[in-house]
């Protein structure tokens, strides 16, 4: 056990900190979940990629640095510490890319990864359907075999930022004779052109962060199938577990939020004494999440797969994030009502916006109820029925 | 000891409930979000016809000499409907203040109209400067330098603020504290405003109880209907227990609001503590119910196309206004520790 | 609505307070859940009955005062305020008596009620069996028809104080052809004599508060059947709902505990500021429970039955009681470890004892999980399956 | 950055685990409740043979020069087994103190024996006077008036106290602070005891983590086996979610104990905060797990015939000792706020 960072890890941190200090845009960009904010964020993603910071853990040939998982965590700590913009390429880099690395062909990796990481081609996930949320396996969208490819028909929903993205990925039933987890195939498909209609849906916080996707006989070539036909469920599970796991929520984000909360507390005179304890708990939780993560990452670097443990991870960070923002709002008191853009809003109203964003945590990427079922059944071994 | 409302009180509650059910639909609330107040104005008009807006004024002033016990159920209903409009400031604060402190000319100019519901009042006590529903008011009643002023809205300098609950149309107000607007001098303004604040706090607590009930109703309807894994999600124990806990919090908060209303109406010695308990319970319960409601709805509740968010955001705003739960528990601590 | 007490209610309170001040034994009696403590408590029950305070809401002919429900609540407030001994006759007066009043014959009421209330004949409940706890309907004990009565065979468990009691009551299957809720009959039976063996079981807090009851062909005359043969489930439900409901946990008990907690807080220097808020919450919860109860009682006096609402009541008081004692232990700090009888124990160690006792609340009389199911299904109308 | 134990550390952990599994059965713990220490004494003896009791002493003193990182896993195992005996005071406090401050004669008389596990040490710092496992100790190490004393148990005046955990056999101690018992003068007693307290706090945190794991294991086994309504109660979602939450709290508390052990072993600048975080998380997690364990067991867990209560009561005692969670969060607040 050595909980100090190595020489080279410290060097990595310094290089990364130096670049971020010099390059992070001044001031806050408009939300990446709005149309023009999305565009502004893509400019940033370009610079990030050109400096090879867009996907540090990727192989060099695709624009990465072959960083270790620890180095990736260091990058994330520095990234959030520097207050750098949120990553609108996230659904590609963190959700689709791991699947491509495991199941994709060389042609697919060659064609897709670099433009994805640079933000030249943007990706949204298309998992849920109106009647297939927690119960993903009940999805109804189909893919019909045609000459040289497939025709996709159906409806996807809660597709993050799909209103602005170029491409999406999701599951479609390729074997109409099969049900549930069988006979599904993993497709990549365009969000523009004939056969596809995208309708933006406004989120709780007012941003157009969601979209519904309507597909009608949309043609997709065989080259855009990932993994084997009818084996989509296995392929997708790899991605959803990375959605739940490390890749979506690295500790750096919560450590930065905890530091901002401590700063807010320092500015709150006469705050209720119970809130002092809440602020400390928030900081401690971010620390606990950090060390839990370093322990997990060490295990992964030793070759273990984390599997169902990622469900513990997801429940912890999502509940922590809600508590953190509730504490901030309690500190702000009556002024919490002043929303983004309101002259009297505290810290530009971003705590209320962050609170609303945090409320999505226990819901998406598998509700925390589903996660607790997984923990009980797969980690503790309790009976399913 | 008898903890129940009279049939008359329940009848009046039912009347208001029917009006709101019929006229104050979620679409009407949504229109106010988008800056269109017509729907809400016509709800206000219908409520005025029932006479409730001036209910606390004496018969002499055209009112019904009713008390906080009569009005608490109505505020609960307006919470259930998420009624957009300055009803608390007008019914619980403005009308009683006008009757107690209006000069002759102010009586003629404002009181009768306010009692008739033709005049919307917004109010700010000493040290406060933010009013809600600032798109539609007619007059501002304000406590400044231990005096009370009654200022026509067109003489008020108002700068808009954005509430997370867009239906609330906040504004910071200031005005010139000139003689013609000053109210009577021969009254105890401190006492009047202390009472006014308590009335507003209890009315807000009742609205929070009503908001909770509506979010819980929405949630129950949704989880009975929404199917996953081949059965309604409402059959899942985790969902059942979330909503059971939500119901418990709401049902224990409710009598505290009633109790506080009674203590106000009877000037009970425990009134300060009772008012604080009402607000503390109503605020915590409503926030808890909102949280459970969103979680059992999942992504659909996270959109602004679905109605739930308008109720949640009203809860976040009202739970923090008139003192949040921690503030009121601190007040209670001073009494009991 | 009139939340003041009436003239006669105030008079009732004064009479009751006066008598208690004059008669409550000085000092704390040994626990009523120990053999000798039980005997000491029975002396007290005798005096209580002889002064007609043992069951104030009962008809005068059985030693009561025909008190209203409100007066009963007033009695309970005064009883706990005076620090009077816990009621070892509780399982008779509060659980069996309501059943007798509803289903018992005049002969049974005549024979059973007065000795029960005076503590001359003591009663324990015998609901659970080793494999029938939350799932009461799965019980296995049987009653076989014989000349003039029945012979009971089987095992009951978690029978409160049965090690010291004379009699018990419970359900036995009288129709071997039936299952679950059908074919059960409600019996009263002796805990001494041939065919019955009682084994005391020590509780978490060290007291012999539980017992197992082994029955083998125990004869019970027809006169000790309550209600109709094979209709025992309906009869029992009346009792268990009163066990969950008002009768078991009146607000007075929690108001008295909250006052003792405030006193403890006053004696705790340098207590953590967050505990101050916890103490206030405790006091508020006791108040909320009081007003919730007065509202419920008013409805009952108007003729409504509370039904499934009693489940809300049970979850609230049992969770409140645990939180209250957790707060007390947090105030006591490291010294919480000093148990009853330890020289350095704070307040004689009764907070730790009370804490352990409070932990039973969410378990017995139908676990809070069962209660939440009932609330969700019967009050909110959610689907069972 | 590498957050993992070495194979040697895990092997030593496994050795101790097997010893405890074989010898420190619940019956042995129960015997100590009833005042019979033989079983526990023989467990102690076997542990001594493995050399772990003196592991922190230098080779020169017959130890293994091991660190807190080596011992933290062992304390976790002794928590899992609810081992009754002054292992924290002997291994983490007594032996290092003796090595650092024993006079020549004290070294001869006590150190070697303690390292060999033949001497049970109990310890009290300045301002403390309560020791646990007072039925079996041989020597008391005490900080008094900025000096350290090493007093044979037969010269200690001990008055018994009753712990809620009967296995802990508490006693209040006093003794005559006479020269022959005084330890060396040329050492920094403040620093030694500050370190000793941190070691005891981390060791206790690790025991709490182990206690949690055992209670959770008992609960999982019980709910898989216990059937109600025709299926194991472990198939009920409410039970699943309780135990899932218990596991999460335990699994996040565990690395904090390891982290604190490492900070002690490496004298990391963050050691104070790390030690407090370890104890705060371990205490809250263990109390939470105890609560869930009892609830899923129901009445059976509420009896003293069943083993669970011995683990719960150990948790209640240890969670409050060496500073409870609130105490340690307050310490952390002074560092970060």
| Distance from the Cα of residue A297 to its chain's centroid | 18
Q: Using CA atoms, how far apart are residues C155 and A197, in angstroms rounded to an integer?
A: 68
Report the percent of chain B where pLDDT is more than 70.
Answer: 100
Q: Using CA atoms, how far apart are residues B289 and B249, in angstroms rounded to an integer?
A: 8
pLDDT band for position B199 (cuts 50, 70, 90): very high
Coil/strand/helix, residue C32: coil
Coil/strand/helix, residue D220: helix
ipTM value > 0.90: yes
pLDDT(A241) > 70: no
Say which of A201, A344, A368 has its CB closest to residue B303.
A201
pLDDT(A245) > 60: no
Terminal Cα-to-Cα distance of chain A (whole angstroms): 41
Say which of C371, C381, C385 has its CB closest to residue B220.
C381
**So what's the pLDDT on residue C51?**
98
Residue C45: count of CB within 10 angstroms of its CB: 23
Interface check for C11 against chain B (CB to CB < 8 A): the answer is no
Give the global pTM.
0.97
**So what's the pLDDT on residue C237?**
85
Say how many residues make up chain D: 337
Question: Which candidate, B10, B29, B131, places its Cα nearest to that of B74?
Answer: B10
Terminal Cα-to-Cα distance of chain C (whole angstroms): 41
- Which is it for strands D121-124 and D139-144: parallel, antiparallel or unpaired? parallel
Q: Are A364 and A300 in contact (CB under 8 A)?
A: no
Element housing B37 (H / E): none
Q: Are A299 and A325 in contact (CB under 8 A)?
A: no
Q: State the smallest CA–CA distance between residue C335 and chain D in angstroms.
A: 8
Q: Which two tokens stand for residue B9?
A: 């009180």
Question: Which candidate, B168, B151, B136, places its Cα nearest to that of B42?
Answer: B136
What DSSP assignment string belongs to B216-262? Answer: HHHHHHHHHH-EETTEEGGGSHHHHHHHHHHHHHHHHHHHHHHHHHH
Q: Are C89 and C119 in contact (CB under 8 A)?
A: yes
Average the pLDDT over C244-266 and give the result: 87
**So what's the pLDDT on residue A273?**
82
Report the percent of chain C where pLDDT is more than 70.
Answer: 97
State residue C221 phi and psi, 5-degree precision.
Answer: -70, 160
Residue C71: count of CB within 10 angstroms of its CB: 22
Q: Using CA atoms, how far apart are residues D264 and D280, in angstroms rounded to an integer?
A: 17
Kindly tell me the burial class for residue B38, based on how many C-beta atoms sit within 10 Å of its own C-beta (0-12, 13-18, 19 or more): exposed
Of A253 and C209, which is predicted with more confidence?
Answer: A253
**So what's the pLDDT on residue C245?**
56
Average the pLDDT over B59-82 and give the result: 97
pLDDT(D166) > 90: yes
Of C241 and C166, which is predicted with more confidence?
Answer: C166
Average the pLDDT over A87-91 and give the result: 93
Contacts of A340 in chain B (CB under 8 A): 162
Question: Which candidate, C380, C256, C372, places its Cα nearest to that of C315?
Answer: C372
| Distance from the Cα of residue D41 to its chain's centroid | 16
Is D238 in contact with B236 (Cβ distance < 8 A)? no
Look over chain C and give the mean of its residue pLDDT values, rounded to a whole number.
Answer: 94
Contacts of B231 in chain C (CB under 8 A): 383, 385
Chains A, B: CB pairs < 8 Å: 100
Q: Are C126 and C170 in contact (CB under 8 A)?
A: yes
**So what's the pLDDT on residue C305?**
81
HSE of C295, CA atoms in CB hemisphere, 13 A: 20
**So what's the pLDDT on residue A238?**
74
pLDDT band for position C248 (cuts 50, 70, 90): low
List, in sequence order, every residue forming a beta bridge with B144; answer none if it has no partner. Answer: B147
Residue A335: count of CB within 10 angstroms of its CB: 18
Interface check for D237 against chain B (CB to CB < 8 A): the answer is yes
Chains A, C: CB pairs < 8 Å: 12
Phi-psi region of B177 (alpha: psi -120 to 50; beta: other; left: phi over 0): beta
Question: Which candidate, D41, D85, D50, D97, places its Cα nearest to that of D71?
Answer: D50
| Distance from the Cα of residue A110 to its chain's centroid | 23
pLDDT(C128) > 90: yes
Tokens 């919307």 appear where? B120
Q: Which two tokens stand for residue D156?
A: 């200690």
Average the pLDDT over C236-240 and give the result: 76
**So what's the pLDDT on residue A295?**
95
Give the torsion through C-alpha atoms of D143, D147, D148, D153, to 10 deg. Answer: -70
**So what's the pLDDT on residue B127?**
95
Q: Using CA atoms, how far apart are residues C35 and C165, in angstroms rounded to an integer?
A: 10
- For residue range D298-335, list pLDDT tens digits in order: 999 999 999 999 999 999 999 999 999 999 999 999 99
pLDDT(A316) > 80: yes
Give the torsion through C-alpha atoms of B6, B10, B12, B15, to 10 deg. Answer: -160
Active site residue A243: yes
Interface check for C342 against chain D (CB to CB < 8 A): the answer is yes
Give the torsion through C-alpha atoms of B224, B226, B228, B232, to 10 deg. Answer: 10
- For residue range D80-94, list pLDDT tens digits in order: 999 999 999 999 999
Q: Using CA atoms, how far apart are residues D206 and D279, in angstroms rounded to an integer?
A: 9
List, in sequence order, every residue forming a beta bridge with C7; answer none if it has no partner. Answer: none
pLDDT(C82) > 80: yes
**So what's the pLDDT on residue C272?**
83
pLDDT(B264) > 80: yes
Of C253 and A207, which is predicted with more confidence?
Answer: C253
Say which of B238, B302, B305 has its CB closest to residue A360.
B302
Q: Which two tokens stand for residue D94?
A: 């007594």
pLDDT band for position D223 (cuts 50, 70, 90): very high
Look over chain D and give the mean of its residue pLDDT values, rounded to a whole number.
Answer: 97
Is C381 in contact with B277 (Cβ distance < 8 A)? no
State residue D102 phi and psi, 5-degree precision.
Answer: -70, 140
**SS3 labels along chain A:** CECCCCHHHHHHHHHHHHHHHHHCCCCCCCCCCCHHHHHHHHHHHHHHHHCCCCCCCCCHHHCCCCCCHHHHHHHHHHHHHCCCCCCCCHHHHHHHHHHHHHHCCHHHHHHHHHHHHHCCCCEEECCCECCECCCHHHCCCEEEEECCEEEEEEEECCCCCCCCCCEEEEEEECCCCCCCCCCEEEEEEECCCCCEEEEEECECCCCCCEEEEEEEEEEEEHHHEECCCCEHHHHHHHHHHHHHCCCCCCHHHHHHHHHHHHHHHHHCCCCCHHHHHHHHHHHHHHHHHHHHHHHHHHHHHCCCCCCCHHHHHHHHHHHHHHHHHHHHHHHHHHHHHECCCCCCCHHHHHHHHHHHHHCCCCCCCCCHHHHHHHHHHHHCCCCCC
Contacts of C266 in chain B (CB under 8 A): 337
Contacts of D237 in chain B (CB under 8 A): 236-238
**So what's the pLDDT on residue C246?**
57
Coil/strand/helix, residue B122: strand
pLDDT band for position C304 (cuts 50, 70, 90): confident
pLDDT band for position A307 (cuts 50, 70, 90): confident
- For residue range C100-116, list pLDDT tens digits in order: 999 999 999 999 999 99
- For residue range B86-126, list pLDDT tens digits in order: 999 999 999 999 999 999 999 999 999 999 999 999 999 99
Average the pLDDT over A355-383 and give the result: 95
DSSP code at position C333: G
Average the pLDDT over A152-157 and give the result: 97
Interface check for C320 against chain B (CB to CB < 8 A): the answer is no
Say which of C201, C274, C363 has its CB closest to residue D298.
C363
**So what's the pLDDT on residue C309?**
84
Q: Using CA atoms, how far apart are residues D19 and D31, in angstroms rounded to an integer?
A: 18
Q: Pick the residue from chain D with its C-alpha nearest to B240.
A: D238
Tokens 């501002």 appear where? B140
pLDDT band for position A304 (cuts 50, 70, 90): confident
- For residue range C328-358, list pLDDT tens digits in order: 999 999 999 999 999 999 999 999 999 999 9
Q: Which two tokens stand for residue C256?
A: 């008295």
With b for 16 or more beta-carbon neighbours within 10 A and e for fewer, the C137-148 pattern comes to: ebbebbbeeeee
**So what's the pLDDT on residue A244?**
53
Question: Which candidate, D51, D39, D131, D124, places its Cα nearest to that of D81?
Answer: D39
**So what's the pLDDT on residue B298?**
96
Coil/strand/helix, residue C211: strand
- For residue range C154-204, list pLDDT tens digits in order: 999 999 899 999 999 999 999 999 999 999 999 999 999 999 999 999 999
State residue B303 phi and psi, 5-degree precision.
Answer: -100, 160
Average the pLDDT over D45-55 and give the result: 97
Radius of gyration of chain C (CA): 21
Q: Are A29 and A44 in contact (CB under 8 A)?
A: yes
Say how many residues make up chain C: 385
């Amino acid at each position: 056990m050595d909980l100090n960072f190595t020489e080279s890890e410290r060097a990595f941190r310094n290089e990364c900190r130096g670049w971020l200090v010099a390059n992070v845009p001044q001031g806050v960009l408009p939300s990446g979940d709005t149309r023009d904010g999305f565009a502004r964020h893509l400019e940033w993603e370009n610079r990030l990629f050109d400096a090879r910071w867009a996907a540090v853990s990727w192989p060099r040939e695709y624009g990465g640095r072959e960083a270790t998982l620890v180095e990736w965590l260091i990058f994330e700590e520095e990234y959030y510490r520097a207050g750098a913009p949120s990553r609108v390429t996230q659904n590609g880099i963190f959700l689709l890319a791991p699947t491509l690395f495991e199941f994709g062909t060389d042609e697919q990796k060659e064609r897709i990864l670099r433009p994805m990481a640079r933000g030249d081609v943007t990706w949204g996930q298309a998992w849920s359907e109106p009647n297939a949320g927690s119960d993903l396996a009940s999805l109804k969208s189909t893919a019909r075999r045609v000459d040289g490819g497939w025709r996709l028909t159906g409806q996807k929903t809660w597709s993050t930022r799909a209103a602005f993205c170029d491409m999406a990925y999701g599951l479609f039933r390729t074997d109409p004779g099969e049900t549930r987890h069988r006979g599904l195939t993993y497709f990549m498909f365009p969000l523009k052109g004939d056969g596809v209609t995208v309708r933006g849906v406004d989120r709780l916080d007012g941003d157009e962060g969601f979209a519904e996707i309507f597909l009608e006989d949309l043609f997709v070539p065989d080259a855009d199938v990932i993994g084997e036909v009818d084996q989509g469920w296995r392929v997708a599970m790899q991605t959803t577990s990375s959605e739940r796991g490390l890749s979506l929520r690295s500790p750096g984000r919560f450590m930065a939020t905890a530091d901002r909360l401590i700063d807010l507390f320092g500015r709150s005179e006469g705050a209720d004494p119970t809130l002092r304890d809440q602020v400390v708990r928030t900081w401690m939780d971010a620390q606990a999440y950090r060390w839990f993560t370093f322990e997990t990452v060490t295990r992964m670097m030793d070759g273990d797969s984390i599997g169902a443990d990622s469900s513990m991870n997801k429940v912890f960070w999502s509940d922590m994030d809600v508590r953190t923002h509730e504490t901030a709002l309690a500190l702000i008191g009556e002024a919490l009502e002043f929303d983004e853009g309101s002259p009297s809003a505290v810290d530009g109203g971003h705590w209320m916006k962050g609170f609303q964003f945090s409320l999505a945590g226990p819901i998406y990427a598998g509700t925390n109820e589903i996660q607790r079922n997984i923990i009980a059944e797969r980690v503790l071994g309790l009976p399913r029925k | 000891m008898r903890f129940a409302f009279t049939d008359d009180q329940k009848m009046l509650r039912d009347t208001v409930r029917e009006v709101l059910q019929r006229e104050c639909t979620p679409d009407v609330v949504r229109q106010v979000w988008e800056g269109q107040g017509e729907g809400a104005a016509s709800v206000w008009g219908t409520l005025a016809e029932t006479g409730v807006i001036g209910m606390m004024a004496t018969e002499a002033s055209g009112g019904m000499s009713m008390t906080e016990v009569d009005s608490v159920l109505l505020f609960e209903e307006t919470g259930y409907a998420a009624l957009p409009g300055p009803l608390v400031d007008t019914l619980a604060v403005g009308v009683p203040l006008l009757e107690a402190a209006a000069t002759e000319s102010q009586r003629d100019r404002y009181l009768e109209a306010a009692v008739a519901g033709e005049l919307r009042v917004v109010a700010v006590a000493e040290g406060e400067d933010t009013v809600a529903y600032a798109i539609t008011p007619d007059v501002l009643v304000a406590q400044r330098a231990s005096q009370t002023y009654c200022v026509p809205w067109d003489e008020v300098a108002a700068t808009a603020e954005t509430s997370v609950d867009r239906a609330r149309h906040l504004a910071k107000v200031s005005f010139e504290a000139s003689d013609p607007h000053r109210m009577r001098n021969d009254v105890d303004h401190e006492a009047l405003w202390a009472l006014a604040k308590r009335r507003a706090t209890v009315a807000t607590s009742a609205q929070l109880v009503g908001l909770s009930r509506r979010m819980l109703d929405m949630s129950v309807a949704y989880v009975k209907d929404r199917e996953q894994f081949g059965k309604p999600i409402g059959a899942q124990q985790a969902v059942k227990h979330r909503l059971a806990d939500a119901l418990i919090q709401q049902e224990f908060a409710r009598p505290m609001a009633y109790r506080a209303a009674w203590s106000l109406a009877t000037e009970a010695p425990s009134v300060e503590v009772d008012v604080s308990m009402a607000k503390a319970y109503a605020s915590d319960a409503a926030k808890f119910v909102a949280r459970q409601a969103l979680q059992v709805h999942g992504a659909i509740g996270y959109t602004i196309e679905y109605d739930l968010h308008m109720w949640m955001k009203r809860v976040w705003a009202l739970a923090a206004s008139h003192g949040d739960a921690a503030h009121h528990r601190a007040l209670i601590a001073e009494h009991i520790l």
